[in-house]
A and B are shown apart, each in its own frame.
Chain A
Amino acid sequence: MSSAISLSNTSTLVRASYGLMIICLIIGTVSSVFSPKASLLAAAVIFGWSQIGGL
């Protein structure tokens, strides 16, 4: 599998994975200032999403 992925032929699945990760990281980073526990919830969403890779 090629490790170089261009956006023009990246599948919806890959874009959604990276997009969700970025959104969760942003939300998690901001929320960690107020509560690390809240930030953990964003990490939990990422872990749940990544389980699709086990199909």
Chain B
Amino acid sequence: MARNYNLWFRSALAYTIAGAFSSLIVGLGLGAVGKVIGLGRTSIALYLVAVLSLLLAAREWGWINFRLPERKLQTEKLWAHEFGFVMASAMWGLHIGLGFATRVTYGGFWVLVAIILALGDPRFGAIVMLSYWAGRALPLWLAPLLSAEETANFSESIFDHRLVFHRVAGIGLAWSAGLAVLLAMSN
């Protein structure tokens, strides 16, 4: 039991740290691109981000329907067999932390990308993507709180409650629209 927990803890830690690293790099890169493009010099980009956020919120609530740009790729399960759980967890974290390299189910990721580009601040971009990764890694650390039944039916539970995640994402997107307007007004 202690050995299993030790392995889980090391794997979870490797996943979290590796994902944080790749998220940091992505955030820095996006901010640098935004700075070079110079979108932050006007408020128009932020108002466009607000519009994008509202459109994506409407999508989450089922009012409109369109496909999100995404790479239809899941991370490689074979890595666990080839490299062991801890190393595989680090590789999964690196892969998923890139954001662009796997499936993007909800629009929040693209709003964060748009805001980072619009603000053109590499350091803030890194902090935003680190926060995004913190949210992504959080379910892993809460996993020990799940009951045995919930753990056994985890995938089914997520599928059954997918509307909850749509609602949560939609509220976050509507809220982001307001934040983008606030940022535009203070620019």
Decide if A36 touches B183 in the complex (CB within 8 Å): yes
Decide if A52 touches B158 in the complex (CB within 8 Å): yes
Within the assembled complex, what's the spacing in Å between the Cα atoms of A24 and B108? 14
Q: Which of B1-9, B79-87, B164-172 contacts A (4 or more CB under 8 A)?
A: B164-172
Q: Give chain A's interface secondary structure class.
A: helix
Within the assembled complex, what's the spacing in Å between the Cα atoms of A52 and B150? 15
Given A41-B128, A52-B158; A46-B169 close (CB under 8 Å): yes
Q: Which residue of chain B has its CB nearest to the CB of A3?
A: B163
Given A46-B135, A47-B111, A48-B131; A11-B172 close (CB under 8 Å): no
Within the assembled complex, what's the spacing in Å between the Cα atoms of A53 and B163? 9
Decide if A49 touches B136 in the complex (CB within 8 Å): yes
Count of residues in A whose CB is under 8 Å from the partner chain: 34
How far is the CB of A45 from the nearest CB of chain B, in Å?
4
Decide if A50 touches B179 in the complex (CB within 8 Å): no
Interchain CB contact (< 8 A) of B164 among A14, A44, A48: A14
Decide if B138 touches A32 in the complex (CB within 8 Å): no
Q: Which residue of chain B has its CB nearest to the CB of A55?
A: B158
**Does B100 sit within 8 A of A, measured CB to CB?**
no
Given A28-B175, A37-B124; A51-B168 close (CB under 8 Å): no
How far is the CB of B166 from the nearest CB of chain A, in Å?
7
Decide if A44 touches B131 in the complex (CB within 8 Å): yes
Interchain CB contact (< 8 A) of A54 among B106, B128, B182: B106
Listed from nearest, the 6 A-B pairs whose CB atoms lie closest are A48-B135, A47-B108, A54-B105, A53-B165, A44-B131, A45-B135
Other A-B pairs, 10, CB within 8 Å; known A40-B179, A50-B172, A52-B165:
A17-B168, A37-B183, A44-B108, A44-B128, A46-B168, A46-B172, A47-B109, A48-B135, A53-B164, A53-B169
Residues of B at the A interface (CB closer than 8 Å) are 103-106, 108-109, 111-112, 115, 119, 124, 127-129, 131-139, 142, 145-147, 150, 155, 157-158, 160-166, 168-169, 171-172, 175-176, 179, 182-183, 186
